[in-house]
Structure 1
Amino acid sequence: MIQKTKIWFSLSLIIIVIGMTLLGAKGLNYGIDFKGGNIVTIDMGKGFNQNIKEEVDKIIKKYDPNATTNIANETQIDIKSNVLTNDTINKMFNDVKQKYKLKDNALVSQSNVGPAIGKELKDKALKAFGIATIAMLIYIAMRFELKFGIAAIVALVHDILITLSVYAIFQIPLNSPFIAAILTILGYSINDTIVIFDRIRENKNKMRGKKIEELANESITQTMTRSINTVLTTLFTIVAVYVFVPSVRDFAFPLIIGIVSGAYSSIFIASPVWVMLKKRKSKNKAAA
């Protein structure tokens, strides 16, 4: 695995370069939580399901093609838009009300989110990411060694960039649950990476005299089954949540990307980076 480091790095680099290029050209598709706009909740009554939601979507798209809708609960639908005005919201609601014979009080709520809140969310998210990264680097450096910490942080940055790249490439709307998902990804990814690093540390005493590449390969092989099983069981749960609980899809989708990316980076990014750092130190000692 370590011998194919260039392949693993290239695969990630291709996705990240494409994503960052599109990010620079188009930017992210910020949702209402960041750009500001209106959130409308309509109670559709009994019998509301995914099929009816799709029919309601068609009515809503007439007024705002970029509006997003989510099933809030068994009877209600949430509509998010930064284009709709009070006038168009009333027209839209009247269309829905007439088609499904709803009562006047079916318009449960209508609220406005200002762009200032979105800026505050982004600032707090960056602070949270920075604090979490520094804290994890310090912990890993104390628990293992600094090179392990650097390799783990490189893997974390990789996971964030991959997730952002997917959102930039496919222009997926990005709302506040994305921030919670990103912080969850950080915790999950670092946990998987530490499992491998812990095995490397154990094997260093058992495999004295072995090359760094052999040590890393053996440690990865020993933890591979555990890593795959953990990822699959977690993915089954998150995918089920994404499919059957539409109201939390904004949180579940980036989590799916991050879990897959985190599993990949723990094996194919973090460990090879640690090997590169160790070999560089050895070369510097030899040169000295």
Structure 2
Amino acid sequence: MAFRLRLVPDVTNWDFFKHQTLTLGASALMVIASLVFVLTMGLNFGIDFRGGTTIRTESTQATDVGEFRAALAPLNLGDVSITEVFDPAFGADKHVAMIRIQAQDGDEAITPEITQAAEEALKSVDPTVVFASVESVGPKVSGELISTAVYSVLAATVAILFYIWLRFEWQFAVGAVAALVHDVVVTVGIFAAFQIKFDLTIIAALLTIIGYSINDTVVVFDRLRENLIKYKMMPLREVMNLAVNETLSRTIMTSGTTLIALICLLVLGGDVIRGFVFAMTWGIVVGTYSSVFVAKNIVLMIGLDRNKKPKDGGSAFFTEDPEKQAAEAAKGTK
């Protein structure tokens, strides 16, 4: 007999609405606290949003990012990002790295003196290193990147709102978007609270979180719609609870396996991707939470027109009048 891992029982009957005031209150409190952190403390923007200088280095020796970082540390250059560049066209003796240094004291670019000091520091660990190019990103470009990042998150949210509205009902769309706003705001808030570097990779993480969270929410909503057709006499709250219980195993397995991979990357991935992986890890946790405790609760608060035909052309969501149901059934037998 084959072994099958079960994180939750096959059949559960947990009441996810038992503490709905507490769970919704906690979500509202986290959103408010996150907004306060962002407005009072601000975000610790990285080079992408603050401007700075990008240096391309070339060397005949293998690049050691740790040694490069240690060599530049005494210069107190602030936010420094070092990444290796790999290209199949590179020869065996060509090793390339990109060094990004934040703008110094409001200047658009680092001064020639700082550039020379950085080159001498790197030559102390790799005498063959040369600066192939030095490029600067000014405040204007950084401001455009911030605007583009905000617009991309808003566009993704609006597109999802439109999709859910067409696929389900407008009440579902409101619940799904409320959950997405909850996830994004709380994730940004944690970055503001702990002053973790916020750059374009975090925007990529936010967009990924939006996609992951809405996928989980749609699974619950799809099962909810099926159950609304199947259990017409069951109260809406119980139908919602049943839908979450029926999809709980899938939710736990999907989130759990994703978190295993992310935690491994968080511990072993290094500084370059740590911010991105942290955002993803936190986002998966709050995204799963919002799918179970936020999205459906918002729909329950708004309510559904249970006599309305669903958009897939099936039966009515819910018919409260048993006599009306019996009359409709009698018509169908004639």
Quickly name the TM-score band, shorter chain normalised: 0.7 to 0.9
Consecutive unaligned residues in structure 1, runs of 5 or more: 282-288
Cα 1:101/1:198, change in 2 over 3 Å: closer
Equivalents in 2 of 1:46, 1:5: separation in Å?
60
Residue in structure 2 matching 1:118, options 133, 139, 142: 142
Deviation of the 1:104 alpha carbon: 4.5
Cα 1:104/1:199, change in 2 over 3 Å: closer
Paired residue for 1:35? 50
Paired residue for 2:331? none
1:185 and 2:206 aligned:
no
Equivalents in 1 of 2:137, 2:126: separation in Å?
29
Paired residue for 2:282? 257
Cα 1:187/1:27, change in 2 over 3 Å: same
Q: Is the 8 A contact 1:20 1:168 kept in 2?
A: no
TM-score (norm 2): 0.74
What SS is found at the alignment partner of 2:19?
helix
Paired residue for 2:178? 154
Equivalents in 1 of 2:24, 2:76: separation in Å?
41
Deviation of the 1:192 alpha carbon: 0.7
Q: Is the 8 A contact 2:164 2:172 kept in 1?
A: yes
Deviation of the 1:245 alpha carbon: 6.3
Equivalents in 2 of 1:5, 1:160: separation in Å?
21
2:288 corresponds to which letter in structure 1? A
Equivalents in 1 of 2:197, 2:70: separation in Å?
18
Higher CA-based Rg: 2
Consecutive unaligned residues in structure 2, runs of 5 or more: 1-15, 87-94, 105-109, 307-334
Paired residue for 2:155? 131
Q: Is the 8 A contact 1:68 1:81 kept in 2?
A: yes
Paired residue for 2:313? none
Paired residue for 1:95? 121
1:16 and 2:31 aligned:
yes
Q: Percent identity?
A: 30
Q: Is the 8 A contact 1:20 1:165 kept in 2?
A: yes
Equivalents in 1 of 2:142, 2:303: separation in Å?
42
Paired residue for 1:285? none
Residue in structure 2 matching 1:225, options 235, 239, 249: 249
Equivalents in 2 of 1:71, 1:12: separation in Å?
37
Cα 1:131/1:67, change in 2 over 3 Å: closer
1:203 and 2:227 aligned:
yes
Q: Is the 8 A contact 2:57 2:129 kept in 1?
A: no
Q: Which moved more, 1:163-172 or 1:112-121?
A: 112-121
1:4 corresponds to which letter in structure 2? H
Equivalents in 2 of 1:77, 1:45: separation in Å?
15
Equivalents in 2 of 1:136, 1:110: separation in Å?
41
What SS is found at the alignment partner of 2:136?
strand
Q: Is the 8 A contact 1:71 1:246 kept in 2?
A: no
Equivalents in 2 of 1:43, 1:170: separation in Å?
35
Equivalents in 2 of 1:257, 1:223: separation in Å?
22
Q: Is the 8 A contact 2:20 2:293 kept in 1?
A: yes
Q: Which moved more, 1:40-49 or 1:88-97?
A: 40-49
What SS is found at the alignment partner of 1:102?
coil
Equivalents in 2 of 1:20, 1:253: separation in Å?
19
Q: Is the 8 A contact 1:64 1:81 kept in 2?
A: no
Q: Is the 8 A contact 1:2 1:216 kept in 2?
A: no
Deviation of the 1:57 alpha carbon: 3.3
Q: Which moved more, 1:21-30 or 1:6-15?
A: 6-15
Deviation of the 1:279 alpha carbon: 7.7
Cα RMSD for the two superposed structures:
2.7
TM-score (norm 1): 0.85
Deviation of the 1:180 alpha carbon: 2.0
Equivalents in 2 of 1:162, 1:269: separation in Å?
13
